[in-house]
Structure 1
């Protein structure tokens, strides 16, 4: 049997609703012995799924139902409180895509910094630099401080960097919502190229057209639980039936 690219086993994570109640480092080692406090809730719980290499999975559900939390658990940004997540291969995370960029550094310096944080060495970045800048269409702003870019320009730079990573698993979470229409289509073509090369896709979106375009399988999450794991059309139809959206 083919090993899963991503496997979750009874995966769950617990949050608190106020800052005074947030988890401490000590809690990570004593969580199994603690009682649930009234201010705690589970944005995701009991999730067991296998994602095979090369699959394109769309994750749907209302806001606050665990979709982005799931991607962050897969990316290793969050630590589960229950169960486990196993990822076979590196991850290219298009999640909160401009995170990690430094406002006072130039665009050029941010490209090297961010690509380096994602594991690319100097020679690899040098080899990809012109392609990154060309894709982002931002050559005239290389020496401009990042903080002076528009939100759309920031997304261009970030997507151009992360989409150049050679990792086999691509995590995408509504990152192109602020981009202009022409650049979004350019990014979507890039995602299609990555899928054609055999990448695995985990895609969170509220856009049905995009979900149907990229994905063949869907996961429908509600109140942190998996409601349906099926073909993407069936999952979207079920979600619409439950919440009356079209």
Structure 2
């Protein structure tokens, strides 16, 4: 087995049209990564000679399978699911009480925050080399931590991220049996100035509201430092492990 110094050589960002995903593409391009697959629903990606845009839909597994097939001849060694939703397109926000639970809204949140990233893993993990470093990461959230939950509320969002964290742990255990240098991790970016967090930024101190560029650089730096022994964990933008 080998530990390369030119990692990553090829990266795939699912959610490259979002604030953090787009900033990750830019940061990876600035690093000189040879190829960056940039996925979005529209199929449009950031400009750059290294960028290969592709279309996918979190709610459409065949589109994710097609994306993986397209990458198979030159597979990525870094895959990031930079996706997620807090407020639904119809304006439905996170529930502050169980009295507001709605099954249709819960299904949509779980589809986009849990099932979609799981389908990305299903089709992308088989592309990883068995004898070189490879990393799969997904944007999670500290509120998905059961042990760190002090406030309650935000039921569907918390549940979707807690379920995502469990899946990442499962994937890490399974992948470790065949890919000894692989890492699977969740990432908590903090509060980032994006459309996802915009309705909830009012009480966030300026020094705790990050730009997408700052968040992307910090998260990529965290991934750089993770080792196989860290696989299955969730880490915040400062590299601290988030409680299960």
Same-fold call, TM cutoff 0.5? no
Q: Which has the higher contact order (CA 8 A, sep 6+)?
A: 1
Query: TM-score normalised by the shorter chain: which range applies?
Result: 0.3 to 0.5
- Larger Rg belongs to: 1
When the two structures are superposed, what TM-score results if normalisation uses the length of structure 2? 0.32
Structure 1 or 2: more strand by fraction:
1
